Structure 1
Amino acid sequence: MTTAPTTTSTTPAGAATPVVLSKSAESALPTVAAVPSRIDGPRPTTGVPFARLIHVELRKMLDTRAGRWLLIGIGAVIAVALTIMFFNEGGQHAFGEYLQATTMPMALILPVVGILAVTSEWSQRTGLVTFGLEPRRARVGWAKTVAALLVGVAAFATSLVLAGIAHQGAVTFRGITPDWTMDGLVLLGAGGYVLLGIAQGLGFGMLLKNTPAAIVLFYILPTAWSILGSMVSWLRDAAVWLDMNQTMQPLFEGSLTGEQWAHLGTSVAVWVILPLTVGMWRLTRSEVK
């Protein structure tokens, strides 16, 4: 009886049996590109320039559908106000009155642009891109602040030009007596009204990071405080220090005492600097999803 030869396997127990592919099967497999160990080219030695961050934040504020429609709305309100003043009372209004008609819509609506510049990072989920390209969030926050103030300066300069054109137009076409006189404090109050408004909106946006909540509270809280401060007797003393509508009024009248400057500084610290400070702190620590 012939015994069959025994074959000893060299593959360890439990190990996978190697599969041998034919040449045609090997050629059908997808080829994997080799990953280079180092990408050629110069390495960046600095971060994103701060000027570029400001430019990007300006684009976010102005070069969007919401930003454009807000600017269109401001322009329409100003055009209506100047047209009414041009024909009302024969157009006999001083330059300061025309300036008030151009700055008020900007001071009331422009803060929404500052709010959207911050809340869009969370509502439209652009924060992953923004903070991925620039992980230092404090620099992004400062870029938003500088960009918002630049928008405010440009808006106030535009309001000066429009008020001047309207007043000169009334002088030329309506025959009114020109009145270009304006106190320096009044001019400071008009510019501060625009700049502080947009800075306050930016602070509320950083603090809440939610567009509807930031817009609603931005308009409701100061208004409610002004109403309570004027109606409730035991809040009147506090309102003198904390109501920006009251503390900025002497600016528009062209005279401020030392105590009134202290009132103005306190109200600005509470309604502008405090939201910006706490909002900047939250901006650097909030989770981005």
Structure 2
Amino acid sequence: MSTAAIAVDTTRPGVPLSRLVKVELRKMFNTRSGFWLMMSIAALATIATVIVLLIQVLNDNADVTYGIYSQAVGTPMAILLPVIAILSVTSEWTQRTGLITFTLAPNRAQIIWAKALSAIIVGLVSMVLAMAIGAVGYVVGTTIAGDTYDWDVTVRQFVFILIANVLGLLIGFMLGVLIRNSAAAIVGYFVYSLVIPGLLAVLAELWGWFKDVQPWIDFNYSSSKLFSDSVSGEEWAQIGTSGLIWLVIPLTLGVLAVMKSEVK
């Protein structure tokens, strides 16, 4: 019994990153759960806009600016976008598609990069769409109420808001890479965003020295400065230092674990 040798062409170029990003974007939309999760972004932004619009129209004393609309539409985005980033990673393990993915594209690091870029693209587009919905609602509400327009969100503030939401999205992505289980990663994100800030705030109240250190180690605290009108050089340094602790190092460990783990 003879076996035929299979020639493998090793000179062919690998799969380009741009193609992998397109595939990952398609995978985020072509499932029923993924599609409705994306639709929920537009739906929640619309609902939040309608609520603020009704408050503006029905309450003559309401001093409503565009900033209030942007806060209303930004709140559900801050919750949903990290979940989308988590699911973009963990689906490979929870739905057992990782073996196919890493067989067709063996470069696992490139797959992780493609997933991160696709999640960021979806996050940016979603935020722009949500802010646009809020702007339309503000124009309609202000026109009906006969108020004076107050576009109190500058271009710089808008860019800062985008950066803040992308950082929150990347925290979710990091947890997805590190834990690789949808439910556990989502719970981990809510612990990070809701429980840990409260604990660190208590420590800052109890220990005076920790209050000075908190901006340098609390990523939630330091990145919240991005929602203000300006960010100083020291605050950017605090964002970078705390981000190294909470984002860069854990993400690096997660990627290394993905590179070495057995995919089943």
Q: 1:185: Cα distance to partner?
A: 4.0
| TM score, norm. by length of structure 2 | 0.86
The percentage of counterpart residues that share the same residue type is 37
Cα 1:44–1:169 change in 2 (3 A) is farther
Cα distance in 2, alignment partners of residues 129 and 102 from structure 1? 37
1:80 aligns to what?
A: 47
Partner residue, 2:161: 190
- Could you say which residue in structure 1 is the equivalent of 2:263? 288
Tell me the residue number matched to 1:271. Answer: 246
Equivalences for 1:104-119 in 2 at 5 Å? 104-119=75-90
Query: 2: distance between equivalents of 1:54 and 1:250?
Result: 31
State the Cα deviation string for residues 123-181 of structure 1 (Å, max 9, x = none).
11101100110111111111111111111111121122112111111132222211123
- Mapped to 2, the partners of 1:192 and 1:200 lie a distance apart of 12
* Superposed CA RMSD: 2.4
Q: Structure 2: which amino acid aligns with 1:279?
A: G
**What's the counterpart of residue 22 of structure 1?**
none
* Shift of residue 36, structure 1, vs aligned partner: 8.6
- 2: CA distance, partners of 1:283 / 1:38: 29
Higher normalized helix content (fraction of residues)? 2
Among 30, 38, 41, the residue aligned to 1:71: 38
Distance in 2, Cα, partners of 1:252 & 1:141? 29
Residue ranges of structure 2 left out of the alignment (5+ in a row): none
Aligned counterpart for 1:243 among listed residues 218, 234, 251: 218
Q: 1:212 to 1:167 in 2, by over 3 A?
A: same
Q: Which SS does the other structure have where 2:260 is aligned?
A: coil
SS at 2:262's partner residue?
coil
Query: 2:66 aligns to what?
Result: 95
What is the match of residue 58 of structure 1? 25
Mean Cα deviation higher: 148-157 or 243-252 = 243-252
**Residue 188 of structure 1 contacts residue 251 of structure 1 at CA under 8 Å; is this kept in 2?**
no
Q: Which runs of 5+ in 1 are unaligned?
A: 1-34
Could you tell me which amino acid in structure 2 is paired with residue 250 of structure 1? K
Q: CA, structure 1 residues 93+65, in 2 after alignment: closer, same or farther (shift >3 Å)?
A: same
Larger radius of gyration: 1
Residues 92 and 170 of structure 1 are in contact (CA less than 8 Å); yes or no, is this contact kept in structure 2? Answer: no
Q: Per-residue deviation at 1:89?
A: 3.8
